[in-house]
Amino acid sequence: MPYDALVTRDTPLSDDALNQLFTGARTRNAWTDRPVSEDLLRRLYDLTKFGPTAFNATPARFLFVTSPEAKARLAPHMAEPNRAKTLQAPVNVIIGQDIDFHEHLPVLFPHLPGVKDWFADEAGRRESAFRNASLQGGYFLLAARALGLDVGPMSGFDAAGVKAEFFGGTAVEPNFIVNLGYGSDENLFPRSPRLGFEEAARIL
């Protein structure tokens, strides 16, 4: 089916699919040495990019760290509890946001001429970039699980150090980092509790 085909779904995914995406999926802390191909990483991005963002701005930027040399640059900026698993994972993904995302709006949102000018204020761009890149990060995690990969998202790192090391001289700032690959059950924590509906939600 072509990417621009309009698809309407009113049937839920199977329980197996929901289990893979949500109920049975776990944050992984240890990894097998099974490789992740570049083709799969490209397919992962091609799924992620279709998640909705405001004005179709898609401000997230994805840096796939795969080589030993690149991992050696990243590891010193990780918090100590995250360092070993970052080095072990086949792929580390630095998900950032482009504060100058508005430069692409004439192409990404062509039916509203002048939309770029709506984001002349840097503070407003920064807020929008963070919110929408975070959304895209969530889409990324689910897309990875849909493709059979495991994920380990982390916020424990030196953001200023990662910015200088990987995004110096650009308008991209790191948001969070994801370990990616095929996880093992080593160091897998028991499932933590979740809030019930009445504690976290209301229907008005």
Q: List the chain domain ranges.
A: 59-182
For 101-142, the pLDDT digits (tens) are: 999 999 999 999 999 999 999 999 999 999 999 999 999 999
- Cα atoms in the Cβ-side hemisphere of radius 13 Å centred on 172: 20
pLDDT of 1 reads: 62
What CATH superfamily is the domain 59-182? Answer: NADH Oxidase (3.40.109.10)
Q: pTM of the entire structure?
A: 0.95
Residue 7 has pLDDT above 80, yes or no: no
**Cα(44)–Cα(7) distance, rounded to whole angstroms?**
20
Query: How much of the chain, in percent, has pLDDT values that exceed 70?
Result: 97
Bridge partners of residue 158, in order along the sequence: none
Sheet holding 91-98, edge to edge: 60-65, 91-98, 172-181, 150-154
Q: Which residues contact 153 (CB under 8 A, 6 or more apart)?
A: 27, 137, 141, 176, 177, 178, 179
For 73-112, the pLDDT digits (tens) are: 999 999 999 999 999 999 999 999 999 999 999 999 999 9
For 133-178, the pLDDT digits (tens) are: 999 999 999 999 999 999 999 999 999 999 999 999 999 999 999 9
Residue 8 has pLDDT above 80, yes or no: no
Residue 14 has pLDDT above 70, yes or no: yes
Q: Which residues contact 142 (CB under 8 A, 6 or more apart)?
A: 21
pLDDT of 90 reads: 98
pLDDT of 9 reads: 76
